[in-house]
Amino acid sequence: MSLKFECPHCEARLSAEPELYRKEISCPDCSKDFMVPTPEDLVGEAGKVKFLCPFCNRKLSAGPEQFGTEMPCPFTDCEKPLMVPRPEWKPVPTTRLR
């Protein structure tokens, strides 16, 4: 199973196979180097998508079970119905591995 995580520099959504864990790679989006995390590094965050509420502009996050569904904004002064985006994670190209 591939690990889903965000580039620490540009927040591009990436996915990596287990053989890349703890390896230094270049981000396919911003070309900066960083270390691929392991699932233990991402407890509670793995597979989550972060997005902005289009009504109140606050940062939200949702788990895989909410992708593509409608949910109310969790902030009580907003609570507007919003669509949770379906994220796409780019596979990290192993050719960039050094």
Min dist CB 12 to Zn ion, Å, is 5
CA dihedral 54, 56, 61, 66 (to 10 degrees): -60
Site for Zn ion in 12-71 (CB under 5 A): 12, 27, 29-30, 53, 55-56
The residue (of 10 and 35) whose beta carbon lies closer to Zn ion is 10
Smaller CB distance to Zn ion: residue 12 or 46? Answer: 12
Burial of 25 (0-12, 13-18, 19+ CB in 10 A): buried
Distance of alpha carbon 74 from alpha carbon 53, whole angstroms: 10
Binding site for Zn ion (CB under 5 A): 7, 9-10, 12, 27, 29-30, 53, 55-56, 73, 78
